[in-house]
Structure 1
């Protein structure tokens, strides 16, 4: 028997479950940057192991989760922006003020998160991207998807052109009798793809040291992320994916309004077309020995497959929700999704204490495959605590703080009686 999707308070089990799934899946890739020197995220030969189980962990994650879970989470953020604006109509402070207050406080939380917990924070990017998308929330849904696809296509074009330009600069500098200007141009451009000498040692010393050592190392990485990497790549990608998410929500994708055959078609495209294409890209990177220019060039093309595989993952889970199967797991995922903000931040708190020198000191000491044990432990924690917490409280702890700051008034927190969770901030 199919499960009921909408619950009291106009929550959608389908959206919550997919969001919970996404926040769990994001950790599969984030764990690499949390526990190993940063460039290991792209190149397993840099750190974390590149043979046996470690290589397979890199390969499988790159095909199924790298950027895909973040894409899904980002599309859901766009969907939530529309949903929350709809709910804010006719109630103070109104849709616009509610949204922009949410983005302001999300930015504040994100900055704290980036500099004190996890330099790979996505909240600051979401807060900035959220400023751009809100005025377009009422566009025709298909136009929203079209805009999102156009933004993502433009980003892909930019990255492919830049990758080809880097190769041309390298070839010019390596040619016999290369001019000093050609050599200098390559040396300057290569900084975007070749890790600076000493960076790995600095990260190992920083995150393996005391609190202040880790803070200095994290500050360096956060500034690099926010000022150099995010503006040309992460920010436009987030904007494009949020537009797609807004359109898909309004077309009923996330609320189970599509027929089964439409979800099955999405699964087929993601798993039978996009996933094999991504696997081919991963094979090319491996065959080229993770050479930086080759890695950079092939990674750019993953932008095509990310949203398609992400939506295939979502479609599988949405069909499970519709069927009423695995209800206990769906309930746990939905609870995790209702507390996605808290669970995202709690993940960083836990991993900071696991890896940094002022905690268990495991930074740089676990291989890529071994880190999956930490992932499993965090998953168990999230699935175990979210549902009991919501049985006693209206919101997750950080959701409550966010909502209270947005409304500038403490919101009800402790439940007087057992009942369904109300809408998140």
Structure 2
């Protein structure tokens, strides 16, 4: 078959919420606000992922495990925990939900079958995600999105109010499970660490605790593996990918579905399209920051006061992921939308929007750049940087994303992986270059 025709992009307009960009002939113009929020998310997610790229994995949760937990390293952890942990993934996930509806609505308007289009996209996303997880970086999120997207699509015709209700119910369920797990673990710990506790109980407790939080000595195994050559790294990466997909990924399904439903609901209300009154966006941003950031401070005190106890983290994770993260994530989105609509720093808004249009390519590209920088088959910086120093690498990757995305899209209709995904899902090659 002949490649689908792509029209030359019209002039970019930032400020009204719409941006005319390269798209198949007859397609609707893209939404600048949606792309800009997605761009902020794909860049911001590296604030947390950088730790998993740069050093032994459990440092992502506990800075005492590796990378430093005092001075500048402590403030790097606390700042990322309060402002970015879960929020950037939350933005990315909500935008994934919004995009599902956008693609389905456009497929329906174009005479295509929305379900056929959607599930073709999810099927190929699963394939690409598996390749990414097993051959590039084990912390992949695309497999989770493909699986959850397949489920969430069942609700694509539901009204915003129902989608909000689903999100709230899923968040409440995760909070309840977290509270029950914390209570059970705290009771177990108290019984096992009592002065008269049976030695066998103490041993079982220690094994259980080590399954939640590996002892610092285990970091040496990661260092040896990821500082080695391709074979050494690949063996460790495969073990991590298997563990993540079998043990960690299922635990992330409820809040991922909740965030997808929330993103779908907000899209239905016009939030991501920039159609709300600017006053309402300001109110959402101020409320999110003024309510949530102060409430994070006692969580930081509790976590550090218990030396990052995995038992404490059972409760603090449930609280922050289900009560604080959604509000702060929506506040972040509102702030980006306000920025795009303001017309200020137009050059930055256009580059952020381009980064969002190429979020798939930028996400995988970030993995390639960071693994080549840190792993032994690349430059070999794995485990050599302190926590705060990793953010210099983040700044460098952000600069690359902002520098390359817009010039690429000025010449080509899609990012390279966006083109590949679209071609695979459509079953025919899409036109790559602008006419």
Asked if Structure 1 and Structure 2 have the same fold, meaning a TM-score greater than 0.5 normalized by the shorter chain, the answer is yes
- Which stretch has the larger CA shift, 308-317 or 298-307? 298-307
Does the 8 Å contact 2:47/2:80 carry over to 1?
yes
Please give the alpha-carbon distance, in whole angstroms, between the structure 2 residues aligned to 1:375 and 1:148: 32
Gaps of 5+ in 2: 1-12, 21-27
Distance 1:181 1:52, change over 3 A: closer
Structure 1 residues 23-51: Cα deviation after superposition (integer angstroms, max 9, x where no partner): 00000000000101111111111111111
Please give the alpha-carbon distance, in whole angstroms, between the structure 2 residues aligned to 1:152 and 1:262: 24
2:409 to 370, 390, 407: 390
Does the 8 Å contact 1:166/1:189 carry over to 2?
no
Corresponding residue for 1:306?
325
Corresponding residue for 1:104?
123
CA displacement at 1:318 relative to structure 2: 0.8
Please give the alpha-carbon distance, in whole angstroms, between the structure 1 residues aligned to 2:111 and 2:14: 36
- Residue 193 (structure 1) aligned with residue 229 (structure 2): no
1:4 to 1, 13, 16: 16
Corresponding residue for 2:10?
none
Does the 8 Å contact 1:76/1:245 carry over to 2?
yes
Does the 8 Å contact 1:72/1:307 carry over to 2?
no
CA displacement at 1:149 relative to structure 2: 1.5
Q: CA RMSD in A?
A: 1.7
- Following superposition of structure 1 onto structure 2, how do residues 174-185 of structure 1 map, counting pairs within 5 Å? 174-179=193-198, 182-183=201-202
- Which stretch has the larger CA shift, 255-264 or 333-342? 255-264
2:281 to 252, 258, 263: 263
1:293 to 311, 322, 327: 311
- Residue 28 (structure 1) aligned with residue 40 (structure 2): no
Please give the alpha-carbon distance, in whole angstroms, between the structure 1 residues aligned to 2:261 and 2:104: 15
- Which stretch has the larger CA shift, 367-376 or 257-266? 257-266
- Residue 146 (structure 1) aligned with residue 161 (structure 2): no
2:357 to 304, 321, 338: 338
Corresponding residue for 2:391?
372
Please give the alpha-carbon distance, in whole angstroms, between the structure 1 residues aligned to 2:229 and 2:162: 51
Distance 1:297 1:381, change over 3 A: same
1:230 to 249, 252, 259: 249
Corresponding residue for 1:49?
68
- Residue 166 (structure 1) aligned with residue 178 (structure 2): no
CA displacement at 1:192 relative to structure 2: 4.0
CA displacement at 1:220 relative to structure 2: 1.2
- Residue 278 (structure 1) aligned with residue 278 (structure 2): no
CA displacement at 1:4 relative to structure 2: 2.3
Please give the alpha-carbon distance, in whole angstroms, between the structure 1 residues aligned to 2:355 and 2:404: 8
Corresponding residue for 1:133?
152
Please give the alpha-carbon distance, in whole angstroms, between the structure 2 residues aligned to 1:292 and 1:90: 50
CA displacement at 1:189 relative to structure 2: 3.4
Please give the alpha-carbon distance, in whole angstroms, between the structure 1 residues aligned to 2:291 and 2:121: 38
Corresponding residue for 1:323?
342
Number of residue equivalences:
415
Distance 1:394 1:146, change over 3 A: same
1:402 to 413, 417, 421: 421
Q: TM-score normalized by structure 1?
A: 0.94
Does the 8 Å contact 1:166/1:190 carry over to 2?
no
- Which stretch has the larger CA shift, 273-282 or 70-79? 273-282
Counterpart secondary structure, 1:301: helix
Please give the alpha-carbon distance, in whole angstroms, between the structure 2 residues aligned to 1:49 and 1:39: 12
Please give the alpha-carbon distance, in whole angstroms, between the structure 2 residues aligned to 1:21 and 1:373: 18
Structure 1 residues 132-161: Cα deviation after superposition (integer angstroms, max 9, x where no partner): 110111111011011012101111111121
Corresponding residue for 2:262?
244
Please give the alpha-carbon distance, in whole angstroms, between the structure 2 residues aligned to 1:27 and 1:176: 44
CA displacement at 1:297 relative to structure 2: 2.9
Gaps of 5+ in 1: 417-425
Please give the alpha-carbon distance, in whole angstroms, between the structure 2 residues aligned to 1:258 and 1:6: 14
Does the 8 Å contact 2:14/2:346 carry over to 1?
no
Please give the alpha-carbon distance, in whole angstroms, between the structure 2 residues aligned to 1:258 and 1:143: 20
Please give the alpha-carbon distance, in whole angstroms, between the structure 2 residues aligned to 1:10 and 1:17: 14
Structure 1 residues 109-129: Cα deviation after superposition (integer angstroms, max 9, x where no partner): 111111111111110000000
- Which stretch has the larger CA shift, 21-30 or 202-211? 202-211
Does the 8 Å contact 1:19/1:76 carry over to 2?
yes
CA displacement at 1:411 relative to structure 2: 0.5
Corresponding residue for 2:57?
38
Please give the alpha-carbon distance, in whole angstroms, between the structure 2 residues aligned to 1:313 and 1:407: 33
Please give the alpha-carbon distance, in whole angstroms, between the structure 2 residues aligned to 1:39 and 1:131: 30
Please give the alpha-carbon distance, in whole angstroms, between the structure 1 residues aligned to 2:211 and 2:320: 18
